Amino acid sequence: MKKHIISTLLIFIAALSAQAQFVLSAETPMSKFRGAEMAIKNLYVDQVDEEKMVEDAIRGMLEKLDPHSSYSTAKEAKALTEPLNGNFEGIGVQFNMIDDTLLVIQPVTNGPSEKVGIVGGDRIVTVNDTAIAGVKMGRDEIMKRLRGPKGTKVKLGIVRRGVNKPLYFTVTRDKIPVHSLQAAYMIRPGVGYVRIDNFSATTYDEFMEAVKKFEQQQMHTLLIDLQDNGGGYLQTAVTMANEFLQRSDLIVYTEGRSSPKREYKADGRGRLKNVKVYVLVNEFSASASEILSGALQDQDRGTIIGRRSFGKGLVQRPIEFDDGSLIRLTIAHYFTPSGRCIQKPYKKGDLKEYEQDFEYRLKHGELTNPDSIHFADSLKYETLRLHRTVYGGGGIMPDVFVPLDTTKYTRFHRKLAAKNLIVNTNLKYIDKERKALKRQYKAFDDFRNDYQIPYHVVEEILSEAKKQGLEPKDDDELQRTLAYLCPQLKALVARDLWDMSEYYQIINEHNDIVMRAVRMIEQSDGAKPTAPVVPDETVPAGRLEQ
């Protein structure tokens, strides 16, 4: 017994001694953090991944700040910045996966794959003699094998419909452009339409290239579609807004605790100052989208149509580490010309509630009825020329509200999409019929006017859905589903035969926000005014139309 007591005391004393040797400095928060990291690394009972532990600590710190400050590993950072940089390095194909096989939708025009003879409909089955088809290889792993530094070569094994033996091509990787302008076409005579996916380093140049083509077609009105546009570079939005505004017009200003106020103003050299402009937004239009929308609204320069935008009024600065990882740290708020900060409310550290804002809006009727939207008087501002009432504190409220049609996209349709039945059936159809369709429809206009999706394609979707236990609840739901499913399938076929611009030329005719803008233009007297369509001055912006 005495030996046991003595042994226990010795262990306790040794522990105290060890603790004494590791009394850590708490003189500053940083010394305390470093001390904790050192103690865990050296004393924790199990082996720890020090790099992951530090990354988790960084994420933890940022999560307690605001919803948009974040940390990205080197791999995550590359994936995030590639779309905004406007290019990546690879073989240059648009593809999708069908039955565990990579199906080329179409090669990038003048890209490395097109140059060696790869065509739409080809199946890539091997990469450098390693099988990637039928082996359950993940999309990320396939992408890793196809992408690589400019100038490097990769050998691709191709299976082509109508050719008995595999074909082999050696592709020299190159820089592949990533376009942020998804569509640009004349939606009606004299009316140009552009759909912008994000505000990247190349967006302004892409936009102005489209404008040049529109001007050759006597454009007098421009629709800028920012639905679902999550934002991007602030400077890109500023440069685009500059094209519409007069000299010294304020576009946006930023200000933060350690960031002095900085104003961005128009230089007066814009070439679109006399073009009538409409901007289309919805609940997923954010950040740079709201900078452009807010500038044109506050300067009474354009008409905003759609639903209240996301509400991101925070500016992030990328802070890079030498291993390629980075922190995106919120350093300032941005303010529209009238002084509005349109950042929606958030609780620090409560990202879940912030991310559920869409469900909150839907539940409270805001997406279907503008009268469900309430702003405090303290958030009231005035536009700079016509002194219309606008509001801050939660996105850009449009001048013309377009309710979300919750009956259009049925429960059955959502389930078909969730199971990938629509996309997969379309891929199989286009794979089989691509050559015949290209022979029949040499011009897109002929396709748009004459083509109808064969009903056997729809029947295949419904049959496969039934096998998986998915059925419409009644004939009414089926008919409402088909009313939107058929044009959706036609748009997908157009995309696969041509490109995204042709996809939007089909699907936009069924987009409520786009069609509201078109009707407003068609109902006008045909003049080419430089001022926007403006609501009665006694009515707050967002209450003009329903």
Judged against a pLDDT cut of 80, whether residue 52 lies above it is answered with yes
Span 29-38, average pLDDT:
86
- Mean residue pLDDT of the chain comes to 88
Greater confidence (316 vs 406) lies with: 316
Span 177-203, average pLDDT:
95
Q: Are 214 and 223 in contact (CB under 8 A)?
A: no
For position 5, what pLDDT does the model report?
47
Give the separation between CA 387 and CA 245, rounded to whole angstroms: 17
Give the separation between CA 190 and CA 188, rounded to whole angstroms: 6
Judged against a pLDDT cut of 80, whether residue 3 lies above it is answered with no
Judged against a pLDDT cut of 60, whether residue 73 lies above it is answered with yes
**Residue 148, burial from CB neighbour count under 10 angstroms (0-12, 13-18, 19+):** middle
Enumerate residues 6+ apart whose C-beta is below 8 A from 394: 308, 311, 342, 343, 344, 345, 375, 379
For position 154, what pLDDT does the model report?
93
Q: pLDDT band at residue 20, thresholds of 50, 70 and 90?
A: very low
Give the separation between CA 516 and CA 162, rounded to whole angstroms: 46
DSSP state of 66: -
Q: Is 2 a catalytic residue?
A: no
Q: Are 180 and 197 in contact (CB under 8 A)?
A: yes
Give the separation between CA 295 and CA 302, rounded to whole angstroms: 9
Residue of 70, 200, 287, 338 marked active site: 287
| CA angle in degrees (0–180, nearest 5) for 356-361-362 | 100
For position 227, what pLDDT does the model report?
97
Nearest to 519, CA basis, from 527, 506, 509, 507: 509
pLDDT tens, residue by residue, 469-485: 999 999 999 999 999 99
For position 413, what pLDDT does the model report?
95
For position 507, what pLDDT does the model report?
97
Element (H, E) at 196: strand 191-196
Q: Is 298 a catalytic residue?
A: yes
Torsion of CA 309, 310, 311, 316, to 10 degrees: -130
For position 360, what pLDDT does the model report?
83
pLDDT tens, residue by residue, 324-337: 999 999 999 999 99
Give the separation between CA 369 and CA 374, rounded to whole angstroms: 11
Report the percentage of the chain scoring pLDDT > 70: 91
Give the separation between CA 480 and CA 483, rounded to whole angstroms: 5
| CA angle in degrees (0–180, nearest 5) for 228-229-234 | 155
For position 531, what pLDDT does the model report?
42
Residue of 197, 298, 357, 431 marked active site: 298
For position 21, what pLDDT does the model report?
54
pLDDT tens, residue by residue, 95-143: 888 878 888 888 888 889 999 999 888 999 999 989 988 888 888 888 8
pLDDT tens, residue by residue, 226-249: 999 999 999 999 999 999 999 999
**Residue 98, burial from CB neighbour count under 10 angstroms (0-12, 13-18, 19+):** middle
Give the separation between CA 148 and CA 542, rounded to whole angstroms: 48
Greater confidence (452 vs 526) lies with: 452
Strands 191-196 and 221-225, by their bridges, are parallel
Q: Is 405 a catalytic residue?
A: no
Greater confidence (36 vs 503) lies with: 503
Nearest to 401, CA basis, from 536, 307, 541: 307
For position 399, what pLDDT does the model report?
96
For position 110, what pLDDT does the model report?
83
Greater confidence (457 vs 355) lies with: 457
Nearest to 344, CA basis, from 258, 260, 286, 257: 286
Judged against a pLDDT cut of 60, whether residue 343 lies above it is answered with yes
For position 538, what pLDDT does the model report?
31
For position 15, what pLDDT does the model report?
47
For position 529, what pLDDT does the model report?
41
Span 197-207, average pLDDT:
96
Greater confidence (310 vs 16) lies with: 310
pTM of the model: 0.85
Strands 303-306 and 276-281, by their bridges, are parallel
3-state secondary structure 37-51: HHHHHHHCCCCCCHH
Give the separation between CA 458 and CA 475, rounded to whole angstroms: 15
pLDDT tens, residue by residue, 429-441: 998 999 999 999 9
Q: Are 533 and 301 in contact (CB under 8 A)?
A: no
Residue of 312, 325, 357, 496 marked active site: 312
Judged against a pLDDT cut of 70, whether residue 190 lies above it is answered with yes
Torsion of CA 70, 71, 76, 78, to 10 degrees: 90
pLDDT tens, residue by residue, 483-542: 999 999 999 999 999 999 999 999 999 999 999 999 999 988 454 444 444 333 333 343
Q: Are 306 and 60 in contact (CB under 8 A)?
A: no
